[in-house]
Amino acid sequence: MDMFEQIREHEQVVFCNDEATGLKAIIAIHSTRLGPALGGCRMYPYKSVDDALEDVLRLSKGMTYKCAAADVDFGGGKAVIIGDPTKDKSPELFRAFGQFVESIQGRFYTGTDMGTDPEDFVHALKETNCIVGVDEVYGGSGDSSVPTAQGVIFGLQATSKALWDTDDLSGKSYAIQGLGKVGYKVAEYLLENGADLYVTDINQKAIDQIVQKAKEMGAGIKVVGSEEIYSQPADIFIPCAMGGIINDDTIPQLQVKAVVGSANNQLKEERHGHSLQEKGILYAPDYIVNAGGLIQVADELYSPNKERVLKKTKAIYNSLLNVYSHAEREGITTMEAANKFCENRIEARTRRNSFFSHMKRPKWAVRM
């Protein structure tokens, strides 16, 4: 496909190559209509550059919607590093990445995502200030997976309210895919709150950790294989690993009543939202549920305040209930309802920005 055709919805795509450190990264800026682009950096051993490009384009577009839904004045962007996070990381590689981010001159801010940790970005921070989500001791707001996991829990409560008229998550069973930074925290919360779990991860260490935790608490947990997670007789499926996992192969296997998780881009294609609806499975649009991390890092760029972050993260509960009722009223999928809401908000915000604003005057024209 023609490259410009492929990136036609995006403002800018930057390929970053540094032979000395082995860095191969792509930064995609989908939209800066609401503000500078903001989105984490994923590290993954993509099979091809095409796969990496497709992922970063989809992820960055999702960030535009996520920013609009969470009502933060940032745009959509994302970065991917092609490499194995268990083998290919080095301080130099992240410093080189930081230099590339700096070269974009403030149009793109980034931090952790799947395969990267706050510590990685301490190296990048030596080269650019456009880094978010590092520990407080380095001037950041701390691990953004904490509010992301909180947001998933608010999303589970809202979904439980819609399905069973209660916020109480106890006494139900949940199938969790991925026990990393977000998935583990959600799993731990559910175990502590009297739920039964089916879990899977490709990392044995992550499994051992949650099984040990469940044992200590005498809670119910069953470990299943990567492919078996879809067919477990749980009440809710919680995807917290890769995207594209709701697809033609997995939908027929699902026995759950709802899908609520942190993974970005869970629906392989938009039509899979319809397939879930036809099967009577309630789908919580991913970018609404997993906005907690974004809310924290966006707040960090003003003046960080944990209470404000929690308040905005809590709003995920009502946003989701609104999306569910809007979708039901209009006879559309929950993803269509969420997209419509975000597109309207972006239009409204942009219209507002066309009014005269003192800030929009060129610096030289402002009388000091």
Ligand X SMILES: O=C(O)CCC(=O)C(=O)O
Ligand Y SMILES: NC(=O)C1=CN([C@@H]2O[C@H](COP(=O)(O)OP(=O)(O)OC[C@H]3O[C@@H](n4cnc5c(N)ncnc54)[C@H](O)[C@@H]3O)[C@@H](O)[C@H]2O)C=CC1
Q: Which residues bind ligand Y (CB under 6 A)?
A: 112-115, 144-145, 148, 177-183, 200-203, 206, 226, 240-243, 262-264, 290, 293
Q: Based on CB atoms, which residue is closest to ligand Y, 98 or 261?
A: 261
Q: The tokens of 107 are what?
A: 């149009």
Out of 61, 66, 78, 185, the active site residue is 78
Selection from ligand X, ligand Y, none that 39 binds (CB < 5 to 8 A by kind) is ligand X
Contact 232, 224 (CB under 8 A): yes
Which stretch in 94-102, 200-208, 293-301, 335-343 sits in contact with ligand X by CB under 6 A?
A: 293-301
Beta bridge partners of 31: 76
Could you confirm whether 279 is annotated as catalytic?
A: no
Helix (H, G, I), strand (E, B), or coil: what is residue 12? Answer: strand
Q: Based on CB atoms, which residue is closest to ligand X, 112 or 157?
A: 112
Contact 54, 269 (CB under 8 A): no
Min dist. Cβ of residue 148 to ligand X (A): 6
Selection from ligand X, ligand Y, none that 181 binds (CB < 5 to 8 A by kind) is ligand Y
Q: Based on CB atoms, which residue is closest to ligand Y, 22 or 45?
A: 45
Contact 41, 16 (CB under 8 A): no
Min dist. Cβ of residue 273 to ligand Y (A): 18
Selection from ligand X, ligand Y, none that 31 binds (CB < 5 to 8 A by kind) is none
Selection from ligand X, ligand Y, none that 203 binds (CB < 5 to 8 A by kind) is ligand Y
Which stretch in 166-174, 209-217, 275-283, 286-294 sits in contact with ligand X by CB under 6 A?
A: 286-294
CA pair distance 349, 239, nearest whole angstrom:
32
**Shortest-Cβ-distance residue relative to ligand Y:** 180
Inter-residue long-range contacts of 220-229, CB under 8 Å, 24+ positions, other chains counted? 220/173, 220/196, 221/191, 221/196, 221/197, 222/196, 222/197, 222/198, 223/199, 224/175, 224/198, 224/199, 224/200, 225/200, 226/177, 226/200, 226/202, 228/200, 229/175, 229/176, 229/177, 229/198, 229/199, 229/200
Q: Which residues are CB-contacts of 105 (< 8 A; sequence separation ≥ 6)?
A: none
Question: Which residues lie near ligand X (CB under 6 A)?
Answer: 39-40, 66, 111-113, 132-133, 144, 264, 290, 293-294, 297
Enzyme catalytic residues: 78
